[in-house]
Amino acid sequence: MLLKMFRIPYPNLEVNVPLATENSIRFEWQADGSIVVRGYLDSKIEHVKGSTAYGIFLRASPYPRFQRIKYIAEQTSKKVERASFDQIPLLEEKLNENYECEGIEIILENENSHVSIKVMDVFGGKSVVLGE
C-alpha cells in the first residue's frame, strides 16, 4: 500500500517515487557485526517518448573508511590492555606516528584507572569510541 507518491518534475521525464514503508526496507546484520540496508521502491520513470523504467533498488552499508577506523580502534584496545599505565603516552605517540599517513589520530586518556580510546578521522571527522 502506497501512502503517498513523491513526484519530481523534469522536462523530459515523469518520475514517481513512493515513500519508503516498513515493508519496503530490510535491515540485515552481517557476520562482521555491521548492518546493510536493502530495499525496493515501486517507482515509475517515464520518458516523454514512451520509454519507461520501473522500480528502484536501494542498498546502503558502512563505508570502508569507517570499518577501517573501527578495526584500528579494536587493535588499539588490545594494545592498551597489554600496556601498563606509564607506557600509555609512549603507545599513543607510536600509534599516531604509525597511522599519521592514513589521516587517523588516536587519543588515549587515563580516566580513573581506565584508558579511554578515541580514534578520529582527521580528513572526515568520523570517529569510533570503544568503551566497556
pLDDT digit string, tens, across residues 27-58: 888 776 678 889 888 888 888 888 998 888 88
The C-alpha cell of 31 is what?
557476520
How deeply is 119 buried, as exposed, middle or buried, from its count of CB atoms within 10 A (0-12, 13-18, 19+)? buried
Is the pTM above the cut of 0.85? no
Choose one of 17, 33, 60: the last residue of a domain: 60
3-state secondary structure of 70: helix
**Per-residue pLDDT tens over the stretch 61-82:** 777 778 888 899 999 999 999 9
> 30 lies in which domain range?
5-60
- Give the side-chain half-sphere CA count within 13 A for 69: 24
Please indicate, yes or no, whether residues 77 and 25 belong to a single structural domain of this protein: no
Please indicate, yes or no, whether residues 20 and 53 belong to a single structural domain of this protein: yes
